[in-house]
């Protein structure tokens, strides 16, 4: 079955980027001139996704406004002849068919995905974590969908992570299959150092089959009280139904301060409008360090 739907969980509290994320959702923090979540929606669309559900919560209405018309602004841009800006702003309201649902309590990523149950129905679907931006010519979600279509199994997007960082991510048991594709036979969320299986961790993307919802319902909250998506996916891995692909793009963690800066610097350097001037500025700055 074709993967047509995507879920973007964006209901976390973003405590690692406070105070910036107090009133502005971290998914709306900009990388140069676009909020993080716009890169993510664009990746989904470039991957062939038609319907998107964004999981929000109180105080995230800015996300809905961003993907809606802004009549006063549009009129002003048009009447002052700013056609390019007008086109950019208007196109945001037509990027995809986007719906929203609120996660009423912040009970973890697993619970956020569970909130998409009736939207997803009985189809495979992609999950794009709302604070993980992946910059790539080949959209990462599209690479995962390719693996799903070939093997008919759930797929996680994976990358090697430095050993000292693994306890804040997860660790995967993997067996190579072909190229950058692996069989994933185990996964442990936020492992203790002695639990580390490999340096591969799930970073920001997965394609799941709808049996995940029943597994989430059976998943008890973890040590921090949140229902972890990894704990539910682990069951699929144990049943032999999980693959992983080391996707090609570069992933930026917009949920932490250093990740935000890295994204801004690297995207800024490639930016058609300010890239050249920014490069010169960075060089002069670097010379003083």
Q: Which residues contact ligand UTP by CB under 6 A? A: 9-16, 55, 103, 106-109, 111-112, 129-131, 255
CA-wise closest residue to 190 among 131, 121, 105, 108: 108
Of 3 and 202, CB closest to ligand UTP: 202
Q: How far is the CB of 191 from ligand UTP (least distance, A)?
A: 16
Q: How far is the CB of 109 from ligand UTP (least distance, A)?
A: 4
Q: How far is the CB of 56 from ligand UTP (least distance, A)?
A: 8
β-strands 125-128, 132-135 pairing: unpaired
Q: How far is the CB of 12 from ligand UTP (least distance, A)?
A: 2
Of 153 and 226, CB closest to ligand UTP: 226
Of 2 and 102, CB closest to ligand UTP: 102
> Which residue in the block uniquely carries the two structure tokens 């797929």?
155
With CB atoms as reference, the residue minimizing the distance to ligand UTP is 12
User: Measured between alpha carbons, how far is 194 from 87 in angstroms, rounded to an integer?
Assistant: 53
Q: How far is the CB of 280 from ligand UTP (least distance, A)?
A: 34
Of 106 and 136, CB closest to ligand UTP: 106
Of 49 and 109, CB closest to ligand UTP: 109
Of 130 and 268, CB closest to ligand UTP: 130
Q: How far is the CB of 223 from ligand UTP (least distance, A)?
A: 14
């Amino acid at each position: 079955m074709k993967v047509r739907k995507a879920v973007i969980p964006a209901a976390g509290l973003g405590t690692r980027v406070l105070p910036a994320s107090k009133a502005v959702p971290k998914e709306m923090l900009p990388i140069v001139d676009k909020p993080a979540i716009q890169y993510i929606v664009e990746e989904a669309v470039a991957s062939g996704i038609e319907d998107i559900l964004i999981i929000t919560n109180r105080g995230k209405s800015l996300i809905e406004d961003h993907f809606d018309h802004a009549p006063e602004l549009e009129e002003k841009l048009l009447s002052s002849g700013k056609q390019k800006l007008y086109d950019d702003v208007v196109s945001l309201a037509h990027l995809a068919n986007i719906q929203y649902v609120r996660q009423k309590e912040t009970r973890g990523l697993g619970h956020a995905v569970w909130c998409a149950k009736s939207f997803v129905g009985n189809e495979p679907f992609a999950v794009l974590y709302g604070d993980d931006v992946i910059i790539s010519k080949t959209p990462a979600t599209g690479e995962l969908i390719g693996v799903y279509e070939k093997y008919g199994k759930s797929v996680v997007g994976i990358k090697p992570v430095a050993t000292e960082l693994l306890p804040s991510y997860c660790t995967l048991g993997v067996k190579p299959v072909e190229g950058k594709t692996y069989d994933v036979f185990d996964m442990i969320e936020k492992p203790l150092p002695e639990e580390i299986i490999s340096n591969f961790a799930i970073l920001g993307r997965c394609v799941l089959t709808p049996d995940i919802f029943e597994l989430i319902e059976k998943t008890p909250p973890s040590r921090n009280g949140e229902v972890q998506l990894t704990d539910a996916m682990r069951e699929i891995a144990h049943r032999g139904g999980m693959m992983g692909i080391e996707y090609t793009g570069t992933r930026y963690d917009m949920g932490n301060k250093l990740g935000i800066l890295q994204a801004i610097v690297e995207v800024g350097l490639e930016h058609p409008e300010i890239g050249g001037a920014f490069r010169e500025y960075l060089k002069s700055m670097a010379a003083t360090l």
